[in-house]
Chains A and B, each alone.
Chain A
C-alpha cells in the first residue's frame, strides 16, 4: 500500500499550526486515493509531540537525538533521507514555511526525488500525483506532475487546507533509531531573536487602516497617517511598505509580521499576497480598495472597491471634514 508521510514542524517547544493542515491533506489522500498516512516527528525530547500526533493519524514515527534539538537542514535531511529511503513513501509532505523552504529542496537533491514547492492542492489522477501551484501573485494556477516514478516531495502553502481535528482513537507510535551523523557539519545554529519591535501593538487595534504597494511613495504615508487618525484607526501595512522602510516592521500584517483580528480591516492598495491574507484571517468587516479587479484580495474581502486608492482617500478625507 502506497504511503504518505507528513513532516511535523515544531519550534520552541510547540507544534506549528501548519502541521495540522498537512494532517487534513494526508487524511484526504487516504480517503480519496487510499494512501496510508503517517507523521514523522524529529527532534530532541519530542515524544510528547508524537503522542499529540497519534490522536490525529494512525501511525507516528519518532526520531530523537540531542543533535536534533534545534532545526538545521543538515541534521534533519540526514535523518529524513534515512527514513524515506528505508520506508519508501510515495509522497512526503512538508509545510511551505521558513522550515520547509530551508529543508525540502535540499532533501530532494540528497534523495534524488523531485519536490514541488508551495502547492495549494495535491491530488492523484490515477497512479499519477498532480499538484496545483499558485503563480504570478496568486493570479494564475499552474498544474504539475512528476517525471520519474519513484517517491516525491511536496511542500504545501499554509491556509490551503483547514487544520484537522483529533480523531480520538490512538494511533501507534514507532520509535525509529537515529542514523549515525557524519563528523562534520557546515552550518551551526546560534539562536533566535525577535525582529525589531516598536512601541505600537497593532494586534490590539479594533480598527486597522492598512496600506500596501499601491501607496507608491513614502510621501504618501503621511496622508495615510492623517486618514487613519481621522478615522480613529491604527495604521498598518503589507510587506512591500516595510521592505522599503516606509513603516516599521511592527506595523507589518502577515505571516512574517503580525497576525491581527480587528473588528474592521480597511486595506488600501494591497493586492493580497497569501502571506498577507493569512495575517488577517478572522477579522470582522474586511474592505479592500485596489485598482486591479482581479487582485486576490477581493477573494478574501467582504467589500471591494476597484478604484485608485488616492481618489478614495481624498473622498474619505473630504467626507470626514477638517
Chain B
C-alpha cells in the first residue's frame, strides 16, 4: 500500500495567548511554539501502522516554509519512508482550494492507494483540504475517521458523529481519509531518532513539478478572500476570583456551598 500523508506545521495556540499584528492581517508568531498539526500527527501514526501491518511505503508531504523541514524529519523519525517539501512561496495566502490544488500535483506524481490528512488544522480550522482534494481527484473520501481496516480493494472506516455515535462505511481505493484525533496513540519521537534521519534527502518541489502555473494558486487565486483578523467581541465574561491559591480555593468552596448547593 502506497500512502501519502499531508501534514502542516502550525502554532500551538491552545494554551498560549494569541496577539494580532498591528495591521490585522495575521498574528504575532514570535512568542508561539510551532509543531506538527495535532490531527496530522495521528494521521502519520495511522499510516505507519498500516504499513507495519500490511507492507508498503509512507510518504509525507507539506506545503510550508523551509523551517517546516523539522516537521518532515520528525515524521521520518516516526517511520515514514520519504518526505516531500513543497515550496511555500507561490502558495502564500492560499485558501484550502489552492492548497488542495498543490497536493493534487503531489498525488499525481505517484500511484498512491491512500491519502491521509488531519481532519482539520489547529490554526485556521477549515477542515476542507481533504474532501476538496478528493473532489479534485475524483476519489471517494471520508472525514473524521476514527478507525481503519483494509479489505479486498476496499477500506472500511468508522467516522465520528455527535453524542458518542459512530458511522461505519467502506470506500473503494484509492481514497482520501481525514483523521480525527484519538484514532491511535502516536509514538514518541526521540532526539536519537531524529538524528538518524538527519541526512535523509528531502526533495523540494516547485509549481512546475506539480503541473501548476503561477496564478493558479496563491492569494490572488483565492475563492475565499480574507478581509482581515480581529479580536472576538468580549461578550459575557466570568466574574474573576483573585488572590493567593489558598484564598482562591476558599472562595471556590464558598461558591460550591452557597451557589451550587454541593460540598
Contact = CB atoms under 8 A, between A and B. Distances in A.
Given A190-B156, A194-B164, A319-B249, A213 B260 contact: no
A188 B226 contact: no
21 contacts: A11-B161, A98-B159, A101-B127, A102-B141, A102-B142, A105-B96, A109-B131, A109-B135, A118-B125, A118-B126, A135-B125, A214-B15, A232-B262, A233-B262, A239-B182, A249-B164, A257-B164, A271-B15, A285-B259, A288-B238, A307-B245
A197 B163 CA distance: 11
Range of interface residues on chain B?
35 or more
Contact of B227 (A144, A259, A306): A144
Contact of B144 (A101, A190, A314): A101
Contacts of A98: 143-144, 159-162, 167
A136 B123 contact: yes
A15 B169 CA distance: 22
Interface residues of A, number: 101
Contact of A264 (B123, B246, B262): B262
Given A105-B127, A191-B168, 11 more contacts: A117-B126, A117-B127, A137-B122, A139-B232, A142-B229, A143-B226, A189-B169, A207-B260, A286-B238, A300-B238, A319-B249
B232 A256 contact: no
A108 interface: yes
B134 A106 contact: yes
A264 B260 contact: yes
A61 interface: no
B224 A144 contact: yes
Nearest to B260: A264
Interface string B138-162: 0111111010000000001011111
A190 B13 contact: no
Nearest to B96: A105
Interface of A: 11, 16, 72-74, 96-99, 101-102, 105-106, 108-110, 114-118, 130, 133-148, 186-195, 197, 206-207, 213-214, 231-233, 239-240, 242-245, 249-250, 252, 255-259, 263-264, 266, 271, 284-288, 291-294, 298-307, 311-312, 314-316, 318-320
Given A101-B144, A187-B169, A312-B248, A303 B255 contact: yes
A256 B185 contact: no
Contacts of B181: 239-240, 243
User: Which residue among A114, A293, A320 has the maximum number of chain B CB atoms within 10 Å of its CB?
Assistant: A114
A192 B131 contact: no
Residue from the set B11, B96, B182 with the largest chain A CB neighbour count within 10 Å: B182
Contacts of A148: 223
A292 B253 contact: no
Interface in B218-263: 222-232, 234-241, 244-246, 248-250, 252-253, 255-256, 259-263
